Chains A and B, each alone.
Chain A
Amino acid sequence: MNESKKLSVSAIKEGTVIDHIPAASLFKVLTILDLESLKSQITFGTNLYSKNLGLKAIIKVSNKFFKDNEINKIALVAPEAKLNIITDYEVVEKKIVQIPENVVGIVKCVNPKCITNHDEIVTRFTVINKSDVALKCHYCEKITDQAQMKILK
């Protein structure tokens, strides 16, 4: 890690660093991982320069280790995200995220006439395209793509 990043987002002793988040997706990632309700120390930086992403964001969560099915949810908005698992200031493991087969209760269906946008129903989608993320609604069968994707809160 270079000096300038250390200045913008300080290092953690134990926990998880989520790197390579597109800057525009930072707040979606915070929402998906429900970091608002977490009590441990969280630092994040955004609009950092990245060769691949243009502007990226980085999140450091102290004393938190995510389960795979928990972290894979962010692949919908940050497919390139990389995780560094930190123990005693050292990276002990690196992980990438994988887009899940099914998406439950995270994304809003794009179809205004979908029953899930009217009654209290947990949304459910099948991922029909992983590279150019496209989700097919289990209820109305309409496709929600990445550009239209709204994260539920």
Chain B
Amino acid sequence: MKNRSLISINDYSKEEYIKILDLAAEFEKNPDQDILKGKVIATLFFEPSTRTRLSFESAINRLGGRIIGFTDATSSSVSKGESLNDTIRTVANYSDLIVMRHPLEGSARHASEVSSVPIINAGDGANQHPTQTLLDLYSIRKTQGTLDNLNLFLVGDLKYGRTVHSLLMAMSHFNTTFNFISPVELQMPNEYKIYLDNLGLKYYEHLDFTDIISRADIVYMTRVQKERFSDPIEYEKTKNTYVLKNTMLQNTKPNMKILHPLPRVNEISVDVDENEKAYYFTQALNGVYTRQAILASILGLQ
């Protein structure tokens, strides 16, 4: 991975995922190392994403690197109409690696083609967010001891949810059985179902969020966003249907864990937080180790 940008989860092989996860496990044991000493990392957030930015900045700080950048485009030359090409070429002069988040899809790929330093895509619109996918894989492997032959339940907005699409693509390497739980208007797009069909992987679709989750190894919850609905009444109904409550966890498998990319709205009741099956806050912490592993791999410092 040395000097190679991380743009899309689909650019990487199963072996490359595993390498990153193994390295992330090393950083979990020893998160404070000075390997980025003397390096300058640019974090360019053309749209705000506080969680992702803080996670990256924590990873960089713990490795002794220094950070330059901006937290939203209004405070930068972008608001004066500068093209992405010009911003990236300029910042590449000042830094050893660029972490970027941008509202337009394909922006990170374009940046990687004009930049003289590697780019890490921290989200390009609804397209890709590969560090999220890798931290999800890390969390799944850590809690299950393996990535192979698991039963993965994806719940909520499966139509627009970039996170679940990337996770599906990544987990398709590991003989996963998929269960999709969503309202009709937010079902998994056909292209992903065709993709699984072609691989001969099993998937099941459900409209009701019931004790079907007793089969799950992982329940991956997502936010149902208001702006996805043309009818506000439909939204209100849906919002309160796909909610995970503590009582629903009674018959679930002992190894089952609940993941969520955060932030949540109401789709996981607060009473679940104390359940040992709730893993979403630890999942966020795993993001720091995973990002440390990605930074170290790309900079050739591991």
CB pair A140–B105 under 8 Å, yes or no, is yes
Task: Point out the residues of chain A lying under 8 angstroms from B10, CB to CB.
Answer: 141
Number of A-B contacts (CB under 8 A): 53
CB pair A118–B128 under 8 Å, yes or no, is no
CB pair A141–B127 under 8 Å, yes or no, is yes
Contact of B104 (CB < 8 Å), options: A118, A142, A143: A118
Q: How far is the CA of A146 from the CA of B18 in the complex (A)?
A: 38
CB nearest to B10 among chain A residues: A141
Question: Could you say which of A1-9, A49-57, A79-87, A107-115 contacts chain B?
Answer: A107-115
Task: Point out the residues of chain A lying under 8 angstroms from B128, CB to CB.
Answer: 141
Is residue B109 contacting chain A, with contact meaning CB distance below 8 A?
Answer: yes
CB pair A113–B103 under 8 Å, yes or no, is yes
Is residue B107 contacting chain A, with contact meaning CB distance below 8 A?
Answer: yes
- Residues in A108-153 with C-beta less than 8 Å from chain B: 109, 111, 113-116, 118-121, 137-143
Q: How far is the CA of A25 from the CA of B8 in the complex (A)?
A: 35
CB pair A115–B106 under 8 Å, yes or no, is yes
Contact of B105 (CB < 8 Å), options: A114, A120, A143: A114
Q: How far is the CA of A143 from the CA of B126 in the complex (A)?
A: 14
Contact of A111 (CB < 8 Å), options: B8, B85, B105, B110: B105
Contact of A140 with B125 at beta-carbon distance under 8 Å, contacts A114-B106, A115-B107 already known: yes
Task: Point out the residues of chain B lying under 8 angstroms from A143, CB to CB.
Answer: 191
Q: How far is the CA of A141 from the CA of B124 in the complex (A)?
A: 11
CB pair B191–A141 under 8 Å, yes or no, is no
Task: Point out the residues of chain A lying under 8 angstroms from B126, CB to CB.
Answer: 113
CB nearest to A128 among chain B residues: B191
Dominant SS at the A interface? loop
Contact of A140 with B106 at beta-carbon distance under 8 Å, contacts A113-B126, A119-B85, A120-B83 already known: yes
CB pair A139–B105 under 8 Å, yes or no, is yes
Nearest CB of chain B from residue A129's CB, rounded to whole Å: 11
Is residue B84 contacting chain A, with contact meaning CB distance below 8 A?
Answer: yes
CB pair A115–B104 under 8 Å, yes or no, is yes
- Residues in A24-74 with C-beta less than 8 Å from chain B: none
CB pair A119–B110 under 8 Å, yes or no, is yes
Contact of A139 with B109 at beta-carbon distance under 8 Å, contacts A113-B104, A113-B125 already known: yes
CB pair A139–B110 under 8 Å, yes or no, is yes
CB pair B83–A116 under 8 Å, yes or no, is no
Bitwise interface map of B from 103 to 123 toward A, beta carbon under 8 Å scored 1, else 0 = 111110110000000000000
Task: Point out the residues of chain A lying under 8 angstroms from B84, CB to CB.
Answer: 115, 119
CB pair A141–B104 under 8 Å, yes or no, is no
Q: How far is the CA of A113 from the CA of B109 in the complex (A)?
A: 14
CB pair A142–B105 under 8 Å, yes or no, is yes
CB pair B8–A141 under 8 Å, yes or no, is yes
CB pair B83–A113 under 8 Å, yes or no, is no
Task: Point out the residues of chain A lying under 8 angstroms from B102, CB to CB.
Answer: 115
Q: How far is the CA of A119 from the CA of B81 in the complex (A)?
A: 11
Q: How far is the CA of A121 from the CA of B126 in the complex (A)?
A: 19
Nearest CB of chain A from residue B192's CB, rounded to whole Å: 12
Nearest CB of chain A from residue B112's CB, rounded to whole Å: 10
CB pair A116–B106 under 8 Å, yes or no, is yes
Instruction: Please name the 7 residue pairs, one residue from A and one from B, whose CB atoms are nearest each other, closest first.
Output: A139-B106, A140-B105, A140-B106, A115-B106, A115-B104, A115-B107, A139-B109
A–B Cβ pairs within 8 angstroms, 6 of them: A115-B110, A116-B110, A119-B83, A119-B110, A139-B107, A140-B106
Residues of B at the A interface (CB closer than 8 Å) are: 8, 10, 83-85, 102-107, 109-110, 124-128, 191
6 additional A-B residue pairs with CB within 8 Å, beyond A115-B105, A121-B85, A139-B105: A115-B109, A116-B110, A139-B109, A141-B106, A141-B128, A142-B127
